[in-house]
Structure 1
């Protein structure tokens, strides 16, 4: 089956990286291409390197209606049987273009939806009304967590139109033999200018206000002060992976606090698994997550994780990720939580059951079956409303 994925942009964000993983693992019976409305960034480059056709529609802004006929022509000429949209703007234009092109099976994944926010923008009455109008043009809306499914329900999307299918992590990609891990760790630290013996707190994500990375900059300053009183502790550093409008503000904050020399910001990167190996702990102070993929990636890489929001783990019991701990999103709490880990020897932890539960290979196989079911005109199996328990037990 020919499938076109329509996405707002292809910078290295969580939804974009998730799309890349799904395309890598979807069953071969589905032939997929991607159309990006704007910003064909690093994920577009990576997809093309993996042999995926990426169409750039050169949309100039949210109200650039000229993209609609271009997208409609692409869908009509491409012979796609199913269109799958990702993110708000792509959902608006992609669903309508699919219908205009005569494609009757239209799926949308809702990656980032809160009661009052959608992808960081205010969910005003107008935004909600437009969202609901577009949603009715689709066949099924996929929620990546029970939290998202519950929000869709509260917004007025009928439960029978919502299917719960979580994000996934490429578990095998993070598994390295001990010797290989040590070599990667040494190489990455050298390339980034990180001292080999430093204690590195890591974070990954878009540098936007909602991620609350300023909490970690403040925490770094507090840890640096503590290190001066305890010479036996390794020198603390912060490795902040990602790009976004908050970068300069975070750097200025670090300068003001006297820790700029211990803050490394390598920008948007595709080698996140290798960068995680260079860390000693992953910290995620965001309180606005709809899934928490970075937390799972840290666990897959064998790191202890301290986080402030992760619906993916909320849906499982504490035994699913014993090395992950919930921490209030403020510097004092993160300082206290990280101090408990500081004197530990940095060895790779085994992947916890949560990683196997969210393995992308299983998620992609289920998505492939959903495509088959919908294309055959059948209703999606086991509609989800976000209020029941996960459909599969956590692997032991």
Structure 2
């Protein structure tokens, strides 16, 4: 069986980290995981799947002592492929894998925005480091055509980029009425409360402040925020203002239960590489408003699901006024049964893993970047 080492910067509760766990669960290969910054929340879940997790003990971004440890691990493991995730892991992982003589070196680019990558500004040195290390790999996986375009803008040759979207397990995010009741009771929410929700890392680019402002303009609405991050203190201060009705629950592993407790999902971010949280909300059957979601935009022109099967989905400008208006309209709609949207089913993980396995095994990836190829 093909042996693959996944290398990631850390294992906190983030989108890329959850994608790694999902891959470990579904890839038909022998997986191991190494983390630069130490095993955290998701390490236990991986070990529960029987996946070994290696802690490389990196203490800061420029801790070069991690490189020989990483090379040693790769040589001992005799892996057929190394697959890196997130900026720092891609830099160190490609170098170490080349030194260790690993045959296939794959990197997935999860978080490349127009001006930021994983919260850091895309300065000239950041781009040059990325471009130099990219040349050491076999292929770079873009999670959407949007990311593919940005990689080309950075100078990565088109022949080295393969677009394979993020996947999700629709069953894990399916609406659960018992979870809805349990979560609402635990948060002190009444069954009839109109709850707007969002899920994601609390950083300025997610623009949760827009939602706090918007929800304050909708009488009776309450905002449920699932996630944590460096912007938390500022957002908590905003939420203490008169008229704000906000519940922060931090980062959660049981995201599906919290989605079930919501009535509308909102994502005002204007910089997204994929928009996984929007798809998770649609898998839950939630009416959804968003500003940017490449995953949905890439599906433009596809036929919708069966009549009556689709939750309302609206793209709106990223202003508090626009979100407040959309929330008022959605709040007036009758409550209907919630079922998984066709858009979420299009990204089911089972249909995507074969393309990654092919990358681990071939000498050169083919050019597979169109919407049809991404979901075939």
If the TM-score is normalised by the length of the shorter chain, which range does it land in? over 0.9
Q: Which residue of 2 aligns with 1:184?
A: 179
What is residue 111 of structure 1 aligned with on the other side?
Answer: 110
Residue 257 of structure 1 aligns to a residue whose secondary structure is coil
Partner of 2:163: 164
- State the distance in 2 between where 1:175 and 1:63 align: 42
- Residues 348 and 365 of structure 1: CA distance in aligned 2, closer, same or farther (over 3 Å): farther
Q: Structure 2: which 5+ residue stretches go unaligned? A: 305-309
Does the 8 Å CA contact 2:311/2:338 hold for their aligned counterparts? no
- Contact 1:85–1:107 (8 Å) recurs in 2: yes
Most deviating of 40-49 and 100-109: 40-49
1:130 and 1:174 mapped to 2: Cα distance? 37
Residues 1:52 and 2:51 are matched in the alignment: yes
Q: How far apart, in 2, do the equivalents of 1:315 and 1:9 lie?
A: 29
For 2:247 and 2:211, locate their aligned partners in 1 and report how far apart those are by CA, in whole Å: 12
Measured in 2, the distance between the counterparts of 1:22 and 1:389 equals: 21
- Rounded to whole Å, the distance in 1 between the matches of 2:39 and 2:201 is 16
Aligned to 2:358: 369
**Contact 1:303/1:349 (<8 A) preserved:** yes
Change (3 A) 1:43 1:200: same
Give the secondary structure class of the aligned counterpart of 1:238.
strand
Matched residue, 1:230 = none
User: For the Cα contact (< 8 Å) 1:159–1:383, is it kept in 2?
Assistant: no
Q: SS of the residue aligned with 1:250?
A: helix
Partner of 2:344 in structure 1? 355
Aligned to 1:18: 19
Q: Is the 8 A contact 1:160 1:383 kept in 2?
A: no
Give the distance between the partners of 1:341 and 1:115, measured in 2 at CA: 31
Deviation at 1:263, TM superposition (A): 1.5
Relative to structure 1, the CA distance from residue 11 to residue 344 in structure 2 (aligned partners, 3 Å threshold; closer, same or farther) is same
After the TM superposition, which residues 143-292 of structure 1 pair with which residues of structure 2 at under 5 Å, given as runs? 143-175=142-174, 181-223=176-218, 227=219, 235-259=220-244, 262-292=245-275
Q: Is the 8 A contact 1:202 1:240 kept in 2?
A: yes
Residues 42-98 of structure 1: CA deviation (Å, up to 9, x unaligned): 222322232221111121111111111111111111121110000110000001111
CA drift at 1:393: 6.8
Measured in 2, the distance between the counterparts of 1:390 and 1:332 equals 36
Aligned match of 2:334: 345
Could you report, residue by residue, the CA deviation over 1:107-148 in whole angstroms, capped at 9, with x for unpaired residues?
Answer: 000111133322221111111111111001100000000011
C-alpha displacement of 1:291:
0.3
1:41, distance to aligned residue in structure 2 (A): 2.5
Q: TM-score, normalised by structure 1?
A: 0.89
Equivalent residues, number = 369
- The CA distance in 2 between the partners of 1:63 and 1:348, in whole Å, is 51
- 1:73 maps to what in 2? 72
- Quote the Cα distance in structure 2 between the aligned partners of 1:272 and 1:393: 25
Q: Distance in 1 between matches of 2:19 and 2:161?
A: 19
Does the 8 Å CA contact 1:301/1:348 hold for their aligned counterparts? no
| 2:147 counterpart SS class | helix
Distance 1:393 1:135, change over 3 A: closer
- Change beyond 3 A, Cα 1:119–1:392: closer
Superposed CA RMSD in Å reads: 1.7
**CA distance in 1: counterparts of 2:235 and 2:37, whole angstroms:** 27
Shift of 1:383: 4.3
Tell me the secondary structure at the aligned position of residue 34 of structure 2.
strand
What does residue 307 of structure 2 align with?
A: none
Q: Return 315-324 or 192-201, whichever deviates more.
A: 315-324
Q: Deviations along 1:274-328, whole A, 9 cap, x unmatched? A: 1100000100011110000000000000101101110011111265477221111
Q: 1:114 to 1:392 in 2, by over 3 A?
A: closer
Tell whether 2:376 aligns with 1:391.
no
- 1:310 and 2:310 matched: no
Matched with 2:86 is 87
Segment drifting more, 331-340 vs 245-254: 245-254
